[in-house]
Amino acid sequence: MGDAAEKNMQLGAHLRRLREAEGHSIRGLAAAANVDATALSRIERGLVASPDPRTLYRLARALGIEVANLYEYAGYDLPGFAPYLRVKYDLPDEAIAQLEAHFELINERYRPDEGGGR
């Protein structure tokens, strides 16, 4: 199975777990998210390459999770930390650089595949 097909399957399995944990049927979640039930079923089965980001956004909102959660599984690139900070907060460049450096230290410490403590 290729990387893209594997990503599609992972997204589908993740979405199904989230849906079931919330007690939604496919039709129930589709209605709550205002998306087509057939489209949701196809995403869950890993049959949709690059699902529409708007569909994932609606599903995330209906599930009460961050949309970045589904975007990451779908393989969509997310903005880096600095652009997020610039948009979210009115901070000077020096403060953003300090936050990025601190974030990198935390990331290195807790990243399991790099020998960090977890």
9 and 67, same domain (yes or no): yes
59 and 87, same domain (yes or no): no
41 and 21, same domain (yes or no): yes
Spatial separation of the C-alpha atoms in residues 29 and 109, rounded to whole Å: 38
Name the more confident of 116 and 97.
97
66 and 90, same domain (yes or no): no
Q: Say how many domains are in the chain.
A: 2
pLDDT tops 60 at residue 118: no
| pTM of the predicted protein model | 0.68
Q: What is the pLDDT of residue 114?
A: 45
15 and 62, same domain (yes or no): yes
Tokens 């708007």: give the residue: 54
Structural domain range at position 50: 3-74
Start-to-end Cα distance in the chain: 31
Q: What is the pLDDT of residue 1?
A: 57
68 and 98, same domain (yes or no): no
44 and 18, same domain (yes or no): yes
